[in-house]
């Protein structure tokens, strides 16, 4: 979460913007959405999801989610970007 929040904060334009975090359950998954008013290019979004970017933070985040049988998605909207983390809910 630290890496995702740091990236989201750094993506907000210098003039200011918004950062929001939302968590919820969706079926058998626990979800966290981190949204900001920064915009990501579609090409960059694909490179992030494929692990083809410099730096280790996002790579490590993807790897941890994979080991925990979760996933990550990045959605871009009009002047917004949302990162969705999805993890299976533990069942005893």
Pair 21, 36: CB distance under 8 Å: no
Positions of E strands within the chain: 19-26, 29-36, 71-77, 80-88
How confident is residue 89, by pLDDT bands cut at 50, 70 and 90? very high
Q: What is the pTM of this model?
A: 0.88
pLDDT tens digits, one per residue of 31-51? 999 999 988 888 988 888 888
The answer to whether 75 and 81 have CB atoms below 8 angstroms apart is: yes
pLDDT of 54 = 79
Task: Tell me the CATH number at 70.
Answer: 3.30.565.10
pLDDT at 55 over 90: no
- pLDDT reading at 56 higher than 90: no
Query: Number of structural domains, the chain?
Result: 1
Split at pLDDT 50, 70, 90, the class of 30 is: very high
Give SS3 for 2. helix
Instruction: Tell me which residue range forms the domain holding 81.
Output: 2-88
């Amino acid at each position: 979460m630290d890496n995702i929040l740091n990236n989201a904060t750094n993506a907000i334009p210098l003039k200011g913007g918004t950062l929001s975090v939302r968590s919820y359950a969706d079926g058998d998954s626990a979800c966290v959405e981190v949204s900001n008013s920064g915009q990501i290019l579609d090409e960059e979004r694909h490179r992030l999801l494929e692990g083809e970017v410099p730096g280790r933070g996002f790579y490590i985040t993807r790897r941890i989610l994979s080991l925990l049988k979760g996933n990550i998605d990045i959605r871009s909207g009009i002047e917004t970007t949302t990162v969705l983390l999805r993890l299976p809910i533990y069942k005893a």
